[in-house]
Structure 1
Amino acid sequence: MISTFAWLVLVWLMLWGSADIGLVLLGAVVAAGVLLLYPLPPVRSRLLRRPHRLVGLGAYLVADLVSSGLRVAWDALRYGRKVRAAVVAVPVLSDEDYVIATAANLLSLGPGKFVLQLDRRERVFYVYALGVRSDAEVDRARADVLGLQRRVIKAFGEPG
């Protein structure tokens, strides 16, 4: 609550582009009014319960960004315009919307793969994967997406 109040005051000051005492007081009044008129539901953060999983997810993402960047560059140099791609169906491993959205966004962050569509009813990600030339590479792309989902679930999902 206090952090939200401070953030609202800071946003107010940034909007006005000044930080004199009158604007700070007016920002405090506006922030208090917003928080009283529109109370926010309590948020239970899972980040502090499993920081080691979050660090592991971050390390995995950095390694994946580097390796997929190198893989895309190699494919572009080697095959040029003849680089092949595939749309791979990958099962969604979680029922929690924020976990699914986080996994989809993190997957689309790096080069070479992104989520084209999410079928919630069938629980399937349709992932566009660049540089797929064989069934083994399709399996590798599917395994990469499943591995990322597992890491996101371990970092943010319900314990289980």
Structure 2
Amino acid sequence: MISTFLWLIVVWLMLWGSVDLGLVLLGAVVAAAILTLYPLPSIRFRMLARPHRLVGLGWYLVTDLVLSGVRVAWDALRYGPTVKTAVIAVPVLSDEDYVIASAANLLSLGPGKFVLQLDRRELVFYVYALGVRSDADVTRVRDEVVNLQRRVIRAFGAREEEPA
């Protein structure tokens, strides 16, 4: 709550483009009003509780960025404008909003695939993927998305949600 309050004051000062005592005090009033009128739901943020899993997730993302970039570049050079694409349904492994949003955003970060749509009711990601030419490629993309979700759940999710 304090960090959100301070962040709102910083944003207020950035909007005005200057810093003086009056603007800081007015920013504090505006921040307090916003947080009072529009309270944020409390979430349990577990990033600091599992730093080793967060580092593992970061390493996985860097590796995935490099491999995906190479794969997309190879497909673009090899097939040019005839690169095959697919929309693949992948099950969502968590029901927590922040875990789903984190997984979708991290998946869309790298080249070659992104979450096109999320069906919340059925818990399905529809993933758009480049370079899908066979059933084996579909399976590979689905496995990559599931693996990323598992890593996100291990890093941020509740202990009871962690996959075996």
Q: TM-score per shorter chain, which class?
A: 0.7 to 0.9
Q: Report the Cα offset of residue 48 of structure 1.
A: 1.4
Counterpart code for 1:144: E
- Report the counterpart of residue 67 of structure 2 in structure 1: 67
After superposition, the Cα gap between the structure-2 partners of 1:112 and 1:38, relative to the gap in structure 1 and judged at 3 Å, is: closer
Aligned residue pairs, count: 160
After superposition, the Cα gap between the structure-2 partners of 1:71 and 1:26, relative to the gap in structure 1 and judged at 3 Å, is: same
Structure 1: gaps (5+ residues): none
Q: Which moved more, 1:38-47 or 1:108-117?
A: 38-47
- Report the counterpart of residue 112 of structure 2 in structure 1: 112
**How far apart, CA to CA, are the structure 2 residues paired with 1:64 and 1:102?**
16
Secondary structure of the corresponding residue to residue 89 of structure 1: strand
- Report the counterpart of residue 2 of structure 1 in structure 2: 2
Question: 1:56-107, CA deviations, whole angstroms, 9 ceiling, x for partnerless residues?
Answer: 1111111111110110000111111221122222111112222122212211
TM-score by length of 2: 0.86
1:148 aligns with 2:148: yes
Give 1:21-100 correspondences, 5 Å limit. 21-100=21-100
Secondary structure of the corresponding residue to residue 132 of structure 2: coil
Secondary structure of the corresponding residue to residue 18 of structure 1: coil
Structure 2: gaps (5+ residues): none
Secondary structure of the corresponding residue to residue 111 of structure 1: coil
Counterpart code for 1:149: Q
- Report the counterpart of residue 132 of structure 2 in structure 1: 132
After superposition, the Cα gap between the structure-2 partners of 1:42 and 1:136, relative to the gap in structure 1 and judged at 3 Å, is: closer
- Report the counterpart of residue 123 of structure 2 in structure 1: 123
**How far apart, CA to CA, are the structure 2 residues paired with 1:118 and 1:41?**
22
After superposition, the Cα gap between the structure-2 partners of 1:37 and 1:146, relative to the gap in structure 1 and judged at 3 Å, is: closer
